[in-house]
């Protein structure tokens, strides 16, 4: 079986780079997305998301005729589903996008096709997807009923790429391939070997699902440990950054870095998929989520304290004379991605509650949009340093690391990333 046509369903942060990389290996790729604007943008050879170098790869793939986007699924030899899996109320996973994608591709499936679920999913989602497909196509057989003899092969191959390095990691990272049967895995390995230079390691669909959740929960728990340490050290008047540097000199200790909370679309979400399946057992994983989700409020309390201290030292002033500058809006350093960013949440909350001026500094973006633009104005680093009384460092961007220490003199500083509090 060779894959002449590959369809990628969901052209977002994972689907679009994956489609483009297949196309760059001269595979005919049909990208499917419900968003007409995204489809039109891609068909013009442009992109609607932020990821270094992706614009060039997509442009080349579309111009060479290997990549085309559409809103309506078409026949293909392999389908990769890369749609969002957010959570709904009570942190329960929302599989409605997977359900919609399965029902959309079902009519064009044919004997011998491979369907891969790439979306980060709770354990059991691949089996559920296969059930939706089987329900829609009683004329075809599926692995859950026909095992190795099924017409359609189904596997889970979670994406594990780091935003900002997606194109490199897609090719270089090892890939966990969880087929519903060994034959399903074998076929999926063959497909990924089109571009994956890392190892394709085979397991079951359920283990592959849990593996992805485990990776992000591991990171979440470790960041929570660092965040909790920062709160403890603050109480004990110990510099947490120095403490972590010292502890990490131990050959078997490697503590991550505290921050204002955990942002992005993966680490703050995926652990809940474990918790919602096994609420009684997942005690540590749940607590880690709560520790990290509680950190922005702790930072806000620190900001209030810094303003109070400033006012104590400057008795002629009132709170509305105090200018606060929030340094950084992105969810992690040196990127321009503001989605699910604790820095944005904190800055918005400061702007909503502080009676004086609040300045936002984000060197990676040109202008603010949406709700942020209503309340805030973007300032350059130097301007903000000149005007602010209280400085809140929220993201460890390189522009902030470059600020000369003497420029901070005379300011109250809340440094959530240890950039200046060395």
Give the residue from 143, 140, 139 showing the smallest Cα distance to 129.
143
**Near ligand SAJ by CB under 6 A: residue from 266, 274, 368, 391:** 266
Annotated catalytic residue within 27, 212, 295, 332:
212
**Near ligand SAJ by CB under 6 A: residue from 8, 76, 224, 267:** 267
Minimal distance, residue 387 CB to ligand SAJ, in Å: 26
Residue 215 in contact with ligand SAJ, rule: CB under 6 A:
yes
**Near ligand SAJ by CB under 6 A: residue from 41, 120, 121, 347:** 120
C-beta separation of 375 from 308 below 8 A: no
- Sorted by sequence, the CB contacts under 8 Å of residue 365 that are 6+ apart come out as 329, 330, 336, 338, 378
**Near ligand SAJ by CB under 6 A: residue from 59, 68, 103, 219:** 219
| 252 Rama sector, left if φ>0, alpha if ψ -120 to 50, beta otherwise | alpha
- 30 vs 392, which CB is nearer to ligand SAJ? 392
Annotated catalytic residue within 266, 295, 326, 332:
266
- 66 vs 272, which CB is nearer to ligand SAJ? 272
Minimal distance, residue 120 CB to ligand SAJ, in Å: 6
Tell me phi and psi for residue 227, to 5 degrees.
-65, -40
Number of residues located near ligand SAJ, criterion CB under 6 A? 20
- 332 vs 354, which CB is nearer to ligand SAJ? 332
Minimal distance, residue 412 CB to ligand SAJ, in Å: 23
Whether 266 is catalytic: yes
Tokens of 293: 């989700």
- 156 vs 411, which CB is nearer to ligand SAJ? 156
Residue with structure tokens 């329900």? 135
Which residue is nearest to ligand SAJ, using beta carbons? Answer: 266
Determine the Cα–Cα distance for residues 399 and 330; give it in Å rounded to an integer.
13
- Residues paired with 175 in a beta bridge: 200
Return the residues of window 127-186 that contact ligand SAJ according to CB under 6 A.
159-163
State the angle between helix axes of 54-63 and 15-24 in degrees (0 to 180), rounded to the nearest 10.
50
Side-chain-side CA neighbours of residue 3 (13 Å): 27
**Near ligand SAJ by CB under 6 A: residue from 119, 216, 230, 364:** 216
Determine the Cα–Cα distance for residues 245 and 376; give it in Å rounded to an integer.
36
- 140 vs 288, which CB is nearer to ligand SAJ? 288
- 99 vs 169, which CB is nearer to ligand SAJ? 169
**Near ligand SAJ by CB under 6 A: residue from 194, 257, 276, 349:** 257
Question: How far is the first Cα of the chain from the last one, in angstroms, to the nearest whole number?
Answer: 58
Report, in this order, helix, strand and coil percent for the chain, each rounded to 5.
Answer: 45, 15, 40
Residue 397 in contact with ligand SAJ, rule: CB under 6 A:
no
**Near ligand SAJ by CB under 6 A: residue from 15, 178, 259, 363:** 259
Residue 296 in contact with ligand SAJ, rule: CB under 6 A:
no
Minimal distance, residue 267 CB to ligand SAJ, in Å: 4
Minimal distance, residue 227 CB to ligand SAJ, in Å: 7
Determine the Cα–Cα distance for residues 196 and 31; give it in Å rounded to an integer.
19
Q: Which residues of 123-146 are buried (b: 16+ CB within 10 A; e: fewer)?
A: bbbbbbbbebbbebbeebbbbbee
Order of all β-strands in the sheet with 153-156: 67-70, 28-32, 5-9, 78-81, 114-117, 153-156, 175-179, 200-204
Minimal distance, residue 257 CB to ligand SAJ, in Å: 4
Choose one: 129-137, 198-206, 258-266, 309-317; the region binding ligand SAJ (CB under 6 A): 258-266
**Near ligand SAJ by CB under 6 A: residue from 137, 156, 286, 332:** 332
Tokens of 269: 């979400």
**Near ligand SAJ by CB under 6 A: residue from 263, 296, 328, 357:** 263
Whether 26 is catalytic: no
- 16 vs 140, which CB is nearer to ligand SAJ? 16
Minimal distance, residue 286 CB to ligand SAJ, in Å: 17
Query: Which secondary-structure segment (H or E) carries 302?
Result: helix 283-313
Minimal distance, residue 392 CB to ligand SAJ, in Å: 15
DSSP one-letter string for 307-330 = HHHHHHH-TT--GGG--EEEE--S
Task: Catalog residues that contact ligand SAJ under the rule CB under 6 A.
Answer: 120, 159-163, 215-216, 219, 223, 256-257, 259, 262-264, 266-267, 331-332
- List, by residue number, the catalytic residues: 212, 266
């Amino acid at each position: 079986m060779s894959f002449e046509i590959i369809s990628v369903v969901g052209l977002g942060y994972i689907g679009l780079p994956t489609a483009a990389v297949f196309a760059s290996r001269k595979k005919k790729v049909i990208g499917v997305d419900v968003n007409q604007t995204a489809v039109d943008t891609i068909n013009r050879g442009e992109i609607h998301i932020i990821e270094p170098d992706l614009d060039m790869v997509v442009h080349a793939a579309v111009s060479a005729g290997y990549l085309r986007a559409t809103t309506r699924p078409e026949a293909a030899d392999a389908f990769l589903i890369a749609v969002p899996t957010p959570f709904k109320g009570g942190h329960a996973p929302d599989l409605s996008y997977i359900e919609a994608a399965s029902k959309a591709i079902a009519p064009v499936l044919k004997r011998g096709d491979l369907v891969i679920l790439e979306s980060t999913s709770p354990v059991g989602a691949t089996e559920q997807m296969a059930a939706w497909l089987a329900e829609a196509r009683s004329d075809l057989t599926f692995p859950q009923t026909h095992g190795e003899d099924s017409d359609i092969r189904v596997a889970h191959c979670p994406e594990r790429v780091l935003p900002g390095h997606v194109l490199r990691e897609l090719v270089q990272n090892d890939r966990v391939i969880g087929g519903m049967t060994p034959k399903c895995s074998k076929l999926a390995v063959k497909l990924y070997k089109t571009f994956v230079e890392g190892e394709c390691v085979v397991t079951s669909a359920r283990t592959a699902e849990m593996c992805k959740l485990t990776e992000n929960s591991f990171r979440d728990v470790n960041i929570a440990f660092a965040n909790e340490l920062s709160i403890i050290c603050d109480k004990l008047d110990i510099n947490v950054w120095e403490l972590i540097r010292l502890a990490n000199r131990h050959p078997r200790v490697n503590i991550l870095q505290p921050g204002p909370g955990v942002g992005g679309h993966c680490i703050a979400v995926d652990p809940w998929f474990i918790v919602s399946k096994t609420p009684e057992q997942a005690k540590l994983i749940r607590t880690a989520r709560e520790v990290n989700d509680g950190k922005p409020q702790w930072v806000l309390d620190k900001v209030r304290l810094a303003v109070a201290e400033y006012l104590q030292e400057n008795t002629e002033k009132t709170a509305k004379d105090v200018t606060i500058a929030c340094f950084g809006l992105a969810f992690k350093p040196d990127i321009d991605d503001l989605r699910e960013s604790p820095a944005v949440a904190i800055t918005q909350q400061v702007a909503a509650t502080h009676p004086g001026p609040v300045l936002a500094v984000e060197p990676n973006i040109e202008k603010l949009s949406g709700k942020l633009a209503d309340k805030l104005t973007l300032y350059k680093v130097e301007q903000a340093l000149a005007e602010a009384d209280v400085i809140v460092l929220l993201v460890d961007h390189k522009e902030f690391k470059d600020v000369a220490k003497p420029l901070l003199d005379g300011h109250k500083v809340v440094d959530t990333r240890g950039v200046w509090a060395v």
